Amino acid sequence: MRIPPLGIHVDPDTPPGRKASEITTSPPVNGEKSIFREQIGGYSALASPLRREVGNRSMARSFSVDDTDLEDAKASKDRDRPSHFLRLPNIQNHSHFLRLPDIQNQSLLSGLAYCIASCSMILVNKFVLSGYGFNAGIFLMLYQNIVSVTIVSTLSLSGVIRTEPLTWRLIKVWLPVNIIFVGMLTTSMFSLKYINVAMLTILKNVANVLTASGETYFFKKQHDSQVWISLMLMIISAVAGGITDLSFHAVGYTWQIINCFLTASYSLTLRHVMDSAKEATRSGNLNELSMVLLNNVLSLPLGIILVLGFNEVEYLLET
């Protein structure tokens, strides 16, 4: 009985011992591998050079298709990948790394600026009054107040700062405070002429004790024990410094004691009239710069009266 041919073309270059089933059949693992293996099997089954050429071209097309599929798959994976793998970090989301440190405690800077200004003023006044023997302390105070008025008014007119307009109602309320303010500055000039700077600084602490006592008596404000201990240490330091002061001058100490009482009176009176002064303004508020301008403007006519009363004009003309 004759068996018909199976239609399997055998390549004459196929090495002996290799089964046709191994060439023509290959179990598909996945779609891509099955196509690849079918092309290999087809290439092996080609017998003529023409068919081999056709097989070579088909394999080239399959390889290019596979490469294109791999590149497309890689591109799709890159698109699906989270954006933080492809982008630089957003600076806006991390702006806190570039932010300048904020000023946490502006009162500390204000206190430091006040200390520098106060110490500089005391040293300059001491140098003028004692170093040059300048005997017109009230005129020196008046000159400094004129400079203050000029600076604050210039800044206010230029729009850099905001100050409350001066009204007669506000002046009437503030006048008692300003009288004490002028007396405080004048007695400070008189005492500074006779007392050295170190003792003047120590004696000024007595004003803090008087202010705290006045707050307790007039405004019923209670201070804890630590505050009173600190104030007592201030008094002890003032007494000890006065006893050991080799340049003790009775006139200078008298003026300084008066200055301490006026300083405490200024603080207490300012607290008493502050509410009335705010009501006398147009905005209902009185900031620090407005108080500076108000104090220095009102001190000018009083300073002129004192300069004339103490006959400093004749001294200035002769100096």
In this predicted model, what pLDDT tens digit does every residue of 133-175 receive, in sequence order?
899 999 999 999 999 999 999 999 999 999 998 889 999 999 9
Q: Is the pTM of this model over 0.75?
A: no
At 184, the pLDDT band (50, 70, 90 cuts) reads very high
Contact (Cβ atoms closer than 8 angstroms) between residue 136 and residue 196: no
- The pLDDT score that the predictor gives to residue 103 is 58
The residue among 92 and 153 whose pLDDT is bigger is 153
Expressed in percent and rounded to 5, the helix, strand and coil fractions of the chain are 75, 0, 25
Least-confidence region, from 62-66, 154-158, 245-249, 289-293: 62-66
pLDDT at 100 over 90: no
Write down the pLDDT at residue 5: 47
Is the pLDDT assigned to residue 208 strictly greater than 60? yes
State the Cα–Cα distance between residues 256 and 245, nearest whole angstrom: 14
The pLDDT assigned to 102 comes to 53
Q: How far apart are CA 193 and CA 319, in angstroms?
A: 18
On the question of pLDDT at 88 being above 50, the answer is no
The arithmetic mean of pLDDT across residues 46-72, rounded, is 47
Residue 312 has a CB neighbour count (10 Å cut-off) of 19
The arithmetic mean of pLDDT across residues 91-114, rounded, is 64
What is the rounded average pLDDT of the residues 300-314? 93
pLDDT at 257 over 60: yes
pLDDT at 198 over 60: yes
Dist. CA 66–CA 59, nearest whole Å: 10
Q: Quote the DSSP letter at residue 159.
A: T
- Phi first, then psi, for residue 236 (nearest 5°) are -60, -40
Q: In the chain, where are the structural domains located? A: 106-133, 134-316
Cα–Cα distance, 302 to 28 (Å, whole number): 111
**What CA–CA distance (Å, rounded) separates 227 from 229?**
5
Using 50, 70 and 90 to split pLDDT, how confident is the model at 254?
Answer: very high
Q: Which of these ranges, 64-68, 109-113, 149-153, 308-312, has the smallest mean pLDDT? A: 64-68
- Confidence (pLDDT) at 309: 92
Compute the distance between CA of residue 126 and CA of residue 254 in angstroms, rounded to an integer.
17
Work out the average pLDDT over 162-190.
Answer: 93
Looking at the predicted structure, is the pLDDT value of residue 262 above 70? yes
Q: Residue 104 — very low, low, confident or very high, per pLDDT cuts 50/70/90?
A: low
Lowest pLDDT segment from 100-104, 105-109, 294-298: 100-104
pLDDT of residue 186: 94
> Residues 6 or more apart from 78 whose CB is under 8 A from it?
86
Kindly give, in sequence order, each residue whose CB lies less than 8 Å from that of residue 166, ignoring residues fewer than 6 positions away: 293, 294, 297
**Which whole number is the average pLDDT over 253-264?**
94
**Burial grade of 46 (CB within 10 A; 0-12, 13-18, 19 or more):** middle
What average pLDDT does this structure show over 172-185?
A: 94
Cβ neighbours of residue 158 closer than 8 Å, sequence gap 6 or more: none
The per-residue pLDDT for 98 is: 41
Measured CA to CA, the distance from residue 237 to residue 219 in angstroms comes to: 27
Name the H helices within 1-136: 20-24, 31-45, 49-80, 106-126
Average pLDDT over residues 75-101: 46
Mean pLDDT (the chain) is 76
What are the distances in angstroms from CA 203 to CA 82, 85, 122, 154, 163?
72, 69, 14, 36, 34
Check whether 9 has a pLDDT greater than 60.
Answer: no
Report how far residue 282's alpha carbon sits from residue 53's, in angstroms, rounded to the nearest whole number: 103
State what percent of residues in the chain have pLDDT above 70: 67
